[in-house]
């Protein structure tokens, strides 16, 4: 029997920091990024604080809005 999947805190922390880093490098506010990908402002805020684990589609949408490779959001 498989156990419950554990949350990867390290991975979520890396993703959170990179979303914030690249958003700021592109001189976007959280609100501007949320409008670009049609996601609620509070959801982006929670992602950047590592409180939520976004799905793959959202990661790709964020990367596209920031004009970067999705892999950059996961790099240490």
Per-residue CA distances from 20 to 31, 43, 75 (Å): 12, 13, 13
CA angle (16 as vertex; 55, 19 as ends), nearest 5? 85
Task: Provide the domain limits for residue 72.
Answer: 30-76
Judge whether 63 lies within some domain: yes
Number of domains in the chain: 1
The pLDDT, as a whole number, for residue 51 is: 96
Residue 60 has what DSSP assignment? Answer: H
The pTM of the full predicted model, rounded to 2 decimals, is 0.91
Pair of tokens at residue 11 = 């991975």
The pLDDT, as a whole number, for residue 3 is: 63
Judge whether 1 lies within some domain: no
The pLDDT, as a whole number, for residue 2 is: 66
Judge whether 42 lies within some domain: yes
Residue 21: which region, alpha, beta or left (left: phi > 0; alpha: psi -120 to 50)?
A: alpha
User: What are the mean pLDDT values of the chain's consecutive 10-residue runs (76 residues total)?
Assistant: 78 97 98 97 97 95 98 96
The pLDDT, as a whole number, for residue 28 is: 98
The pLDDT, as a whole number, for residue 47 is: 97
């Amino acid at each position: 029997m498989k156990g419950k999947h554990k949350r990867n805190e390290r991975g979520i922390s890396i993703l959170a920091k990179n979303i914030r880093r690249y958003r700021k490098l592109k001189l976007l506010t959280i609100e501007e990024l949320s409008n670009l990908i049609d996601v609620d402002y509070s959801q982006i805020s929670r992602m950047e604080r590592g409180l939520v684990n976004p799905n793959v589609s959202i990661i790709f949408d964020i990367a596209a809005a920031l004009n970067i490779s999705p892999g950059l959001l996961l790099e240490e």
